[in-house]
Chains A and B, each alone.
Chain A
Amino acid sequence: MKKTWIITKRELRSFFDSLMAYIMIVLFLGFSGFFTWIFGTDIFLINQASLQPFFGIAFWTLFFFIPAITMGLFAEERKSGTLELLVTKPVSDWQIITGKFFAAFLLICITLALTLPYYFTVAGIGKVDHGSVWMGYLGLLFLSACYISIGLFASSITSNQIVAFLVALFIGIFFQLIFGMAASGTTGWLAGILNYLSLSTHFESMSRGVIDSKDILYFLSIIVLGLAGAELALSKRNL
């Protein structure tokens, strides 16, 4: 655990050193703020003290931003050769992977924490269902963790950051959109399976304030699967 934290610290610092973190935070706040408060189906349009518009937009912004954060985590180290040095240090592959995972996850936590003023503002102008807001944030965190784990896997199989970004988006779009669409086009048990696989189904139920152990199990299995895939790719050592 100590080793994992050392790697997390280094990665997190490198996000801020390379300005990646600042760009991510500014763009995310800009996008989500714009669509939450100013444009489209914003809070004033629906005229309810609810953060639903924010969760809807964050759902998509995170989908695009997370692959951009994770794409370099392995691909860049593989390209510059630092991965070779890192795996010959007394750390296990799993510690390296989880270290990087938590670094990206903490960056998302920081970013989402900066949107808390939205919550306080809405709470100031109307009666907010506090439970559903906190559940919505929890949903965003689970969703982010899933995409980080998918992004880590994508980054671990290539030394090209662009490839890693596109692969992560490609895998992500199935969970984000395609399974849901396919489910509505089919019936019976197949629709049930596709609907369960769709990440948006689980996220929407959470952002409405409903939590189910099935949802948690779903998110956790995607996270574990992505990280395990990354470990498998890393253990092959074909750098």
Chain B
Amino acid sequence: MEVNVENITKTYGFQKAVDHISFQVHTGEIVGFLGPNGAGKTTTMKIITCFMPPNEGDVKVGGISVLANPEEVKKHIGYLPETNPLYKEMPVIDYLKFAAEIQDVPAGKIRERIGEMIQVCGLRSEKYKKIGELSKGYQQRVGLAQALIHDPEVLILDEPTSGLDPNQIVEIRDLIRNIGRQKTVILCSHILAEVEATCDRIVIVNEGKLVADGTAITLRKQAQNKEIVRVTIEDGDRNTIFEALKGIETAEGVDFLPDYTQGFEVQSKAGTTSRKAIFRLCVEKGWTLTEMTPVERKLEEIFRGLTLNN
């Protein structure tokens, strides 16, 4: 089921929380939704989940508009809000039963679905405890279980792994990836490594505006149009090598690497590559090339580059 966000705007008073954002999420795709605090992530999620309508624009979930038919849209969405709100005084199993009933799970299948969720989210030993008595990690699992219990077509998760221990994080990520094969998943997170590990595509917003939309690889390419390679060249004098590298036609700049005595960083001119030339140079001069690594900008740097204004 596709999610189509069409040019939505939401204002709180004079402040534009979301400013003409459009993007699409296809079936079988996991999209990471990134942005600094206050960028409009949660507001966008609240509009998709029919919590509140946008001032302008529309969101279509499987072709159904959130403005025209929110009741129908809500049936297809599983939502885990950032704060993971739960009824603390309810036992886990009663809460899951309530969540199943209210999300139209057929009466005959409720027991089966609860059993499945308890298994998938690892809640077996905790199922009769009151939710308020559980640790934060287990509460997070209950939140995930209630979002998944009706087997939704679209899953919207706001910080799904917060409060979990590293083993649980791996489990939950695997779970999300598995679900993402057939379903549509939108995942909000501050943890960039998590987004990179889990998501097929990344959408970045800043100050209510969409600033990037693409796979991690395309984002890297966009952010970095000049090739940088790190090379270690041995069996030669440091300064001679440095001068020779500078002489390469496509090289724009060469630097010594502080940690390596024989290491250099070569930046090429826009749109060109110096790797072949470096190799040929070494052959020609009889030097030994022991390392050549393309330097990739980390997702963190791309994120900072796109969202820091100055």
Contact = CB atoms under 8 A, between A and B. Distances in A.
Nearest to B80: A85
B4 interface: no
B79 A81 contact: no
B21 to A, nearest CB: 19
B128 interface: no
Nearest to A87: B51
Contact of A90 (B71, B88, B146): B71
A92 B75 CA distance: 12
A13 interface: yes
Given A3-B102, A237-B51, A237-B52, A88 B90 contact: no
Nearest to B95: A10
Contacts of A91: 102
Interface in A213-230: none
Interface in A171-189: none
A129 interface: no
Interface string B83-113: 1011111100010001101111000000000
Contacts of B102: 3, 6-7, 89-91
A48 to B, nearest CB: 45
B185 interface: no
Contacts of A10: 87, 90, 98
Contacts of B75: 90
Nearest to A79: B85
Given A17-B90, A90-B71, A90-B74, A84 B103 contact: no
Contacts of A80: 85, 88
A121 interface: no
B81 interface: yes
B85 A84 contact: yes
Nearest to A86: B102
B49 interface: yes
Contacts of B89: 14, 17-18
B50 interface: yes
Contacts of A18: 89
A3 B79 CA distance: 19
Nearest to B84: A81
Contacts of B179: none
Contact of B104 (A7, A17, A90): A90
B77 interface: yes
Contacts of B72: 90
Given A6-B101, A81-B81, A88 B71 contact: no
A6 B85 contact: no
A81 B51 CA distance: 12
Contacts of A9: 98
A100 to B, nearest CB: 13
B85 A82 contact: yes
B94 to A, nearest CB: 7
Interface string A1-39: 001001101100110011000000000000000000000
Nearest to B52: A237
Given A10-B98, A13-B94, A84-B51, A89 B87 contact: no
A82 B132 CA distance: 13
B85 A89 contact: no
B137 to A, nearest CB: 18
A10 B71 CA distance: 21
Contact of A88 (B49, B86, B94, B101): B49
16 contacts: A10-B87, A17-B89, A80-B85, A81-B85, A82-B85, A84-B46, A85-B81, A85-B85, A89-B99, A89-B102, A89-B103, A90-B72, A90-B75, A90-B104, A91-B102, A237-B51
Interface of A: 3, 6-7, 9-10, 13-14, 17-18, 80-85, 87-92, 237
Interface of B: 46, 49-52, 71-72, 74-75, 77, 79, 81, 83, 85-90, 94, 98-99, 101-104, 146
